[in-house]
Structure 1
Amino acid sequence: MAAQLPFIEVPLFPLNTVLFPGGQLQLRIFEPRYLDLVRECTRTGSAFGVCLILDGSEVGMPARPAAVGTLARITDFNNREDGLLGIVTKGGERFRVLRTRVRSDGLLRGEVELWPDEAAEQVPVEFALLQTIVERLIETMGPHWRHAPRSSYDDAGWLGFRLAELLPLAGEEQQQLLEMTDPLQRLAALRDILPRFQKA
């Protein structure tokens, strides 16, 4: 009998973007409900859930989130030039939303089932080109990854998540890649997507 996955209740932050495990996401906070979310997470040291918006918008009425998201932990704060609060977060475990409820202030909370981390898989030689592409993308678009150890590029899970977040993919495509549980299957899907970005 399979072991039951752990579940927790977390505040949810539906966004028009996908956060991948290990990824970095910077957010501008101005709605009262999300200022409360930041205060709660800071006070308790807890995470909140980031889910892609399937229907609705980031502001106003609660949006309908995707069923699979990623825990985000706040790693830094900054005061932005526009006077708003900025936070930097790092992606943690993925989760599946079991049920949601909306607080009176419009903050969405979800009971979520945490997914186990993917098992480490060596990048097979047929995906070596993807390692080179990620290296180049990081040089131009992902400066926070520039000091990643070389061993990271040999980890199929890390490589796939970095490529999925750095390529200009539609949110629905990123969501499909997030929901895959086999890192080699994710690399194969990304390899098949690449010709779209090759110059004629």
Structure 2
Amino acid sequence: MQVGNVIYNAPEDFPDIVPVFPLTGALLLPGGQLPLNIFEPRYLAMIDEAIGGNRLIGMVQPTLTEPAGENAGPSLCDLGCIGRLTSFSETGDGRYVISLAGICRIRLLDEVTQPDAPYRSFRILPFLSDLGVNSEEPEVDRDALMRVFRAYLDSHRLEADWESIERAGNLALVNSLCMMTPFGAAEKQALLEASSLKARSATLVAMLEMLLARGPNNTSNTLQ
């Protein structure tokens, strides 16, 4: 898989240890693009380090059920996604606006203390099967996905750029809809953990159908 100017296709293309950005509700998927507004000093330092290094950052959600410890950082979900920093700009008021391009999912193995680093780092296991995700495009039930997405938009009186949607491949379509639809943290983690593009699409269809069954007047973005 090519991301930016780099091709990732083997274990040696990934470092053993990556900095991790824990963010509730953030969903980065292989082949997807995630814009981020960075303002906390520890994550500004993380971006500075990434820019001067391999530009790789792990996006992971805090654990959905366990409370954060008093003297340590929050517990994190085991599964996240590693992304490459492909866009970067300074705002003039101390913030960075960046874009991460998803490469593959990762499993966090153990936390590693990095001297003088204010952010957290982990040893990772990359899901190399995600690097060939483009080959899974024909397996997606695009008709089912488009049908339920149209129904969702209609029920909320929303518009879409249908010309761009029709041009998009299944990988871009599934990832974009997963990232733009207003799900809660648990649902986004379930989409991330789907074992294939086909499974992710089917999970998305089921979630949208559940939202439709609840009616447009229900403003909650979680399905539980």
1:170 aligns with 2:184: yes
For the Cα contact (< 8 Å) 2:60–2:79, is it kept in 1? Answer: yes
Determine if contact 1:62/1:107 at 8 Å carries over to the other structure.
Answer: no
Q: Deviations over 1:134-161 (max 9, x none)?
A: 8x97xx7998xx8688361xx3x44432
Superimposed CA distance per residue, residues 133-189 of structure 1 (whole angstroms, 9 cap, x where no aligned partner): 38x97xx7998xx8688361xx3x444322221211111111111111132222222
Q: TM-score, normalised by structure 2?
A: 0.68
1:27-176 equivalences under 5 Å are 27-54=36-63, 62-80=73-91, 82-103=93-114, 104-116=116-128, 117=130, 118=133, 119-123=135-139, 127-131=142-146, 133=149, 150=167, 152=169, 155=170, 157-176=171-190
Distance 1:83 1:105, change over 3 A: closer
Counterparts of 1:72 and 1:178, CA distance in 2: 14
Aligned-residue sequence identity (percent) comes to 27
* Paired position in structure 1 for 2:202: 188
SS state at 1:186 partner = helix
4+ aligned runs moved over 6 Å, structure 1:
4-7, 140-143
CA distance in 1 between partners of 2:89 and 2:44 (Å): 13
Cα deviation, residue 75, structure 1 = 1.6
**Change beyond 3 A, Cα 1:120–1:111:** same
Counterpart selection for 1:14 from 22, 26, 49: 22
* Length-normalised TM-score, structure 1: 0.75
Partner deviation per Cα, 1:25-45 (whole Å, 9 max, x = no partner): 222223332222112211123
- Indicate if the aligned counterparts of 1:141 and 1:166 stay in contact, CA closer than 8 A: no
Structure 1 residues 94-120: Cα deviation after superposition (integer angstroms, max 9, x where no partner): 111111134454311110001022342
Q: Which amino acid aligns with 1:15?
A: L
SS at match of 1:181: coil
Deviation at 1:80, TM superposition (A): 2.9
Give the drift of 1:64: 2.0
Which letter maps to 2:90?
N
Deviations 1:50-90, CA, capped at 9 Å, x for gaps: 10111568xx9633221111112112222337542222222
Gaps spanning 5+ residues in structure 2: where? 1-9, 217-224
- Report the CA distance shift for 1:193/1:171 in structure 2 as closer, same or farther (over 3 A): same
Counterparts of 1:13 and 1:113 in 2: how far apart (Å)? Answer: 16
Q: How far, CA to CA, are the matches of 1:13 and 1:141 in structure 2?
A: 33
Q: Structure 1: which amino acid aligns with 2:192?
A: L
Asked if the contact 2:57/2:82 (under 8 Å) is kept, the reply is yes
Q: Which runs of 5+ in 1 are unaligned?
A: none
Work out the CA distance in 1 between the residues paired with 2:43 and 2:121. 12
Q: Is the partner of 1:62 in helix, strand or coil?
A: coil
Matched, 1:179 2:193: yes
